[in-house]
Amino acid sequence: MKRPDVDRPSTWKSYKNDMCNGCWGGCCTMPVEVKSSDLVRLGVASEDEVIGSVKKLAKRLIKEGIIVSYRSGTEFFMLQQKANNDCLFLDSVTRLCTVYDKRPDTCRQFPSIGPRPGFCPGAPRK
Ligand code: SF4
Protein backbone atom coordinates (compact mmCIF):
# COMPACT_ATOMS: atom_id res chain seq x y z
CA MET A 1 0.00 0.00 0.00
CA LYS A 2 1.33 3.43 -0.92
CA ARG A 3 1.88 5.64 2.09
CA PRO A 4 0.39 9.11 2.17
CA ASP A 5 2.99 11.80 1.54
CA VAL A 6 3.71 13.53 4.85
CA ASP A 7 4.59 16.73 3.01
CA ARG A 8 1.35 16.73 1.02
CA PRO A 9 -1.64 16.92 3.39
CA SER A 10 -3.96 16.50 0.38
CA THR A 11 -2.88 12.80 0.33
CA TRP A 12 -3.64 12.26 4.04
CA LYS A 13 -6.48 10.04 5.23
CA SER A 14 -9.47 10.97 7.33
CA TYR A 15 -8.58 10.05 10.92
CA LYS A 16 -10.42 7.13 12.53
CA ASN A 17 -10.14 5.87 16.10
CA ASP A 18 -7.96 2.77 15.60
CA MET A 19 -5.68 4.18 12.89
CA CYS A 20 -2.71 4.51 15.27
CA ASN A 21 -2.59 0.73 15.83
CA GLY A 22 0.19 -0.68 13.63
CA CYS A 23 0.88 2.70 12.02
CA TRP A 24 4.38 3.59 10.81
CA GLY A 25 4.17 6.90 12.72
CA GLY A 26 4.02 9.39 9.90
CA CYS A 27 2.94 12.16 12.27
CA CYS A 28 6.15 11.58 14.24
CA THR A 29 8.25 12.44 11.16
CA MET A 30 6.97 16.00 11.00
CA PRO A 31 8.60 18.97 12.78
CA VAL A 32 7.22 19.38 16.31
CA GLU A 33 6.99 22.74 18.05
CA VAL A 34 6.81 22.64 21.83
CA LYS A 35 6.46 25.04 24.74
CA SER A 36 8.75 25.24 27.76
CA SER A 37 6.11 23.38 29.83
CA ASP A 38 6.46 20.44 27.42
CA LEU A 39 10.23 20.44 27.91
CA VAL A 40 9.78 20.36 31.68
CA ARG A 41 7.31 17.46 31.43
CA LEU A 42 9.72 15.62 29.12
CA GLY A 43 12.38 16.01 31.79
CA VAL A 44 14.86 17.84 29.54
CA ALA A 45 14.47 21.20 31.29
CA SER A 46 13.84 22.29 34.87
CA GLU A 47 11.29 24.80 36.14
CA ASP A 48 14.19 26.91 37.40
CA GLU A 49 15.76 27.10 33.95
CA VAL A 50 12.45 28.23 32.45
CA ILE A 51 11.96 30.88 35.14
CA GLY A 52 15.61 31.94 34.76
CA SER A 53 16.62 32.48 31.15
CA VAL A 54 14.73 30.75 28.34
CA LYS A 55 17.37 31.86 25.83
CA LYS A 56 20.09 30.24 27.94
CA LEU A 57 17.96 27.09 28.16
CA ALA A 58 17.48 27.09 24.38
CA LYS A 59 21.24 27.43 23.88
CA ARG A 60 21.88 24.38 26.08
CA LEU A 61 19.20 22.28 24.38
CA ILE A 62 20.51 23.15 20.91
CA LYS A 63 24.04 22.19 22.04
CA GLU A 64 22.71 18.86 23.39
CA GLY A 65 20.81 18.14 20.18
CA ILE A 66 17.35 18.16 21.76
CA ILE A 67 16.01 21.19 19.90
CA VAL A 68 17.07 22.89 16.68
CA SER A 69 15.73 26.36 17.35
CA TYR A 70 13.80 28.69 19.65
CA ARG A 71 11.60 31.56 18.52
CA SER A 72 11.25 34.18 21.24
CA GLY A 73 8.28 35.81 19.45
CA THR A 74 6.08 32.72 19.77
CA GLU A 75 8.06 31.05 22.60
CA PHE A 76 8.09 27.82 20.61
CA PHE A 77 11.03 25.42 20.60
CA MET A 78 11.49 23.14 17.57
CA LEU A 79 12.37 19.58 18.54
CA GLN A 80 15.34 17.91 16.89
CA GLN A 81 14.66 15.29 14.21
CA LYS A 82 16.86 12.38 13.17
CA ALA A 83 18.47 12.32 9.70
CA ASN A 84 15.45 10.40 8.32
CA ASN A 85 13.06 13.00 9.83
CA ASP A 86 11.95 10.73 12.69
CA CYS A 87 11.34 12.56 15.93
CA LEU A 88 14.18 12.26 18.40
CA PHE A 89 11.83 10.30 20.69
CA LEU A 90 10.46 7.87 18.10
CA ASP A 91 11.68 4.26 18.39
CA SER A 92 12.89 3.42 14.89
CA VAL A 93 12.03 -0.28 15.22
CA THR A 94 8.67 -0.30 17.01
CA ARG A 95 7.64 3.08 15.49
CA LEU A 96 6.26 3.98 18.91
CA CYS A 97 6.84 7.09 21.01
CA THR A 98 9.36 6.40 23.77
CA VAL A 99 7.99 9.24 25.91
CA TYR A 100 4.30 8.68 25.27
CA ASP A 101 3.06 9.58 28.78
CA LYS A 102 5.15 12.75 28.73
CA ARG A 103 4.72 13.67 25.06
CA PRO A 104 4.26 17.33 24.08
CA ASP A 105 0.82 18.94 23.80
CA THR A 106 1.31 19.27 20.02
CA CYS A 107 1.44 15.46 19.79
CA ARG A 108 -1.57 15.03 22.10
CA GLN A 109 -3.65 17.36 19.95
CA PHE A 110 -2.76 15.81 16.59
CA PRO A 111 -4.66 15.43 14.26
CA SER A 112 -7.36 17.71 15.71
CA ILE A 113 -4.80 20.47 15.39
CA GLY A 114 -2.26 20.18 12.58
CA PRO A 115 -1.63 21.01 8.94
CA ARG A 116 -4.95 19.36 7.97
CA PRO A 117 -7.21 19.00 11.01
CA GLY A 118 -8.97 15.62 11.17
CA PHE A 119 -6.58 14.00 8.67
CA CYS A 120 -3.30 12.12 9.21
CA PRO A 121 -0.39 10.71 7.16
CA GLY A 122 -0.90 7.28 8.71
CA ALA A 123 -0.44 3.89 7.06
CA PRO A 124 0.34 0.33 8.24
CA ARG A 125 4.02 -0.31 9.08
CA LYS A 126 4.32 -2.96 6.35
S1 SF4 B 1 7.30 13.16 21.10
FE2 SF4 B 1 6.48 11.11 20.70
S3 SF4 B 1 4.41 11.47 19.86
FE4 SF4 B 1 5.53 13.40 19.68
S5 SF4 B 1 6.44 13.40 17.61
FE6 SF4 B 1 7.97 12.56 19.04
S7 SF4 B 1 7.73 10.33 18.98
FE8 SF4 B 1 5.85 11.28 18.11
CA distance 53 to 84: 32
Count up the domains in the chain and report the number: 1
Q: Is the pLDDT of residue 123 over 90?
A: no
Partners of 67 in beta bridges: 79
Would you state the pLDDT for residue 98? Answer: 97
Environment class of 68 (CB within 10 Å of its CB; exposed 0-12, middle 13-18, buried 19+): middle
Distance from the CA of 89 to the center of ligand 1, in angstroms? 6
Would you state the pLDDT for residue 59? Answer: 97
Which of 24, 33, 107 to mutate for ligand 1's pocket (most ligand atoms within 8 Å of CB)? 107
In a domain, 44, yes or no: yes
For 37-58, the DSSP string reads HHHHHHTSS-HHHHHH-HHHHH
Q: Is 109 helix (H, G, I), strand (E, B) or coil?
A: helix
In a domain, 126, yes or no: no
The parent domain of residue 85 ranges over 29-116
The predicted model gives 63-87 an average pLDDT of 97
In a domain, 95, yes or no: yes
Q: Which of 75, 100, 73, 101 is nearest to 87 (CA)?
A: 100
Q: Residue 66 in contact with residue 72, Cβ under 8 Å?
A: no
pLDDT digits (tens, 9 = 90+) for 34-63: 999 999 999 999 999 999 999 999 999 999
Q: What is the CA radius of gyration of the chain?
A: 15
- Order of all β-strands in the sheet with 33-34: 33-34, 76-79, 67-71
In a domain, 98, yes or no: yes
In a domain, 2, yes or no: no
The predicted model gives 8-12 an average pLDDT of 94
Residues with CB under 6 A from ligand 1: 28, 32, 87, 89-90, 97, 99, 103-104, 107
In a domain, 90, yes or no: yes
Would you state the pLDDT for residue 1? Answer: 59
The predicted model gives 4-11 an average pLDDT of 92
In a domain, 18, yes or no: no
pLDDT category at 17 given cuts 50, 70, 90 is confident
In a domain, 91, yes or no: yes
Ligand 1 atom 4: residue of nearest CA: 107
pLDDT digits (tens, 9 = 90+) for 79-116: 999 999 999 999 999 999 999 999 999 999 999 999 99
Ligand 1 atom 8: residue of nearest CA: 28
